[in-house]
Amino acid sequence: MPEPIEVRKVPIESVTDASGLSRLIDDGVIEAQRVLAVIGKTEGNGGVNDYTRILADRAFREVLAGGGHPAPESVPLVWSGGTDGVLSPHATIFATTANAPATDEPRLSVGVAMSDVILPEDIGRPAMVEKVAAGVREAMKIAGIDDPRDVHYVQTKTPLLTLATISDAKSRGQSTAIEETGPSMDLSNSTSALGIAVALGEIEMPREDQIHKDLSLYSSVASCSSGVELDRAQIVLVGNVRGIGGRYRIGHSVMKDALDADGIWAAIRDSGIPLPERPHPSDLKGRLVNVFMKCEADPSGRVRGRRNIMLDDSDVHWHRQIKAAVGGAARLLVPVVALLTETEVGAHGLRQEKESEMALPKLVGKDGRQAVLAFTGTESLARWRPDARPIQATTLQVCRAAVQEQAAAVVVDVAGPVQFVIEGDVLAALAAVESGTVNELNGVTVAKVAPAPARPRRRWFSRKSR
């Protein structure tokens, strides 16, 4: 039986900042020698020449070495470059623990493995699918998972093509599937995803002409990234095992499109967190560690029937645009502040906090009308009040909360840099969309988009190196 897992998320304040991991070790939350894997987001461009991944990798391995890890170079550190929009650089650390409550309920388990060497001529071909699939099966064994249905997340990092590796293949009389280095990131990621799908029984072994072309072939739990820093697949497999003990569970779901907030909530429910029919971030009550999301621009150039130009934009690559769009759709920050409700006299004779409550602050105008505050990021939140705690929410959820609080408006970024107000019929309409009461509106026209024709589900994963 594998050991129970402790998992923590830490911010990355600069390219080489590993102080979050260092604090966890110094405070005794985790032991350096027990760290199994780190999955993180860095602030680079996510491309072939994104060296922020290498810098972050070096910083975290130095902390592990300093903390006494016997082989820090063996720990999978999977870095995804690009924190466009409101995404924030961070790292999620998985480690075994000896201090976990016993339970017969399913709890988090992690298996890490490395595939055989992936040659340049393997990328985009069945040979790579087979090597990744073999590595995933090995990771399942290490995690103690027998049933593929108990696997909820598989993160891979695989090699891509460079001019040097393409030349190496040619020198050995071999050819590569393509000779463009940039697109090879997409090709490596999609091939890796099919390897995961094969290992978990989601699809049969694909033909070479289906790889990177047949979009009906996908994995619902794969998260694939590629880069120049390795020559085989790094695999981090996360699932649930009954009887392992611990405090954490994991779930998953598939987003139907880039705006599918319900898909995110479905994944959270699948992890075992009970939620109401129309959930709000406050329903999470601090029980969520992280959400891993992968996305790509729809090849049709449309989202819910509306045309976008991400795939036609020559100035900003669609990889960056879709990340910013999905990140923005998934979060809008609502401030919560602590209100002191009861005090007591401590051992040293000083009065101290005994109980406090979290409250949603409102802005009151000269005319007595109230407004709920919302912020587009932590910087604009801190401009208003540094001690406010951010809670993530979608725009629709904020508007619904405002109506429930009988507020007249939602004021976005009240302290700047650009203030925006949602009020009147627009506020009522957005709240009604969230609560499912659009038909009860009077004097307001809300356009509804007809459901799209049914089509085979596909997994939304980014084909770009992270």
Q: How far is CA 286 from CA 135, 273, 377, 397, in A?
A: 34, 11, 19, 18
Residue 346 has pLDDT above 50, yes or no: no
Please, are residues 416 and 380 in contact by the beta-carbon 8 Å criterion? yes
- DSSP string over 213-247: T-TT---SSEEEEEESS-SEEEEEEEEEEETS--S
Residue 27 has pLDDT above 70, yes or no: yes
Beta partners for residue 242, in sequence order: 106
Q: In sequence order, what are the residues at sequence separation of 6 or more whose Cβ sits closer than 8 angstroms to the Cβ of residue 205? A: 126, 129, 130, 198
Question: Among residues 41, 131, 157, 323, which one is catalytic?
Answer: 157
242-264 per-position pLDDT tens digit: 999 999 999 999 988 888 888 88
Q: In sequence order, what are the residues at sequence separation of 6 or more whose Cβ sits closer than 8 angstroms to the Cβ of residue 350? A: none
Helical residues (DSSP H) of 343-385, grouped into ranges:
378-384
Please, are residues 15 and 83 in contact by the beta-carbon 8 Å criterion? no
Assigned token pair, 161: 């093509």
178-202 per-position pLDDT tens digit: 999 989 999 999 999 999 999 999 9
Answer with the residue of higher pLDDT: 204 or 44: 204
Grade residue 351 by pLDDT with cuts at 50, 70 and 90: very low
Residue 438 has pLDDT above 80, yes or no: no
DSSP3 helix / strand / coil % (the chain, rounded to 5) = 30, 25, 45
Could you confirm whether 157 is annotated as catalytic? Answer: yes
Torsion angle (degrees, nearest 10) of CA 431, 432, 434, 439:
-170
Question: Among residues 109, 219, 225, 462, which one is catalytic?
Answer: 225
Torsion angle (degrees, nearest 10) of CA 388, 393, 110, 27:
0
137-179 per-position pLDDT tens digit: 999 999 999 999 999 999 999 999 999 999 999 999 999 999 9
User: Can you give the pLDDT at residue 405?
Assistant: 80
Grade residue 343 by pLDDT with cuts at 50, 70 and 90: very low
Burial zone of 101 (CB within 10 Å; 0-12 exposed, 13-18 middle, 19+ buried) = exposed
Cα separation, 190 vs 208, in Å, equals 12
Cα separation, 466 vs 225, in Å, equals 5
Q: 443 by DSSP, 3-state: which?
A: coil
Measured at the CA of 238, the angle between CA 236 and CA 240, to 5 degrees, comes to 160
User: Can you give the pLDDT at residue 336?
Assistant: 52
In the numeric block, the tokens 């802005």 are attached to 363
User: Can you give the pLDDT at residue 75?
Assistant: 93
- Counting residues of the chain whose pLDDT is more than 70, the rounded percentage is 86
380-410 per-position pLDDT tens digit: 888 887 767 677 777 888 888 888 888 899 9
Please, are residues 205 and 129 in contact by the beta-carbon 8 Å criterion? yes
Grade residue 434 by pLDDT with cuts at 50, 70 and 90: confident
Could you confirm whether 225 is annotated as catalytic? Answer: yes
- DSSP string over 156-225: EEEE---HHHHHHHHHTT---S---HHHHHHHHHHHHHHHHHHHTTSSPPPPGGGTTT-TT---SSEEEE
Cα separation, 93 vs 76, in Å, equals 11
Instruction: Give the closest residue to 235 by CA, choosing from 315, 141, 157, 123.
Output: 157
Taking phi over 0 as left and psi of -120 to 50 as alpha, with beta for the rest, 321 belongs to alpha
265-306 per-position pLDDT tens digit: 999 999 999 988 888 777 888 888 888 888 888 889 998 888
In the numeric block, the tokens 């760290």 are attached to 35
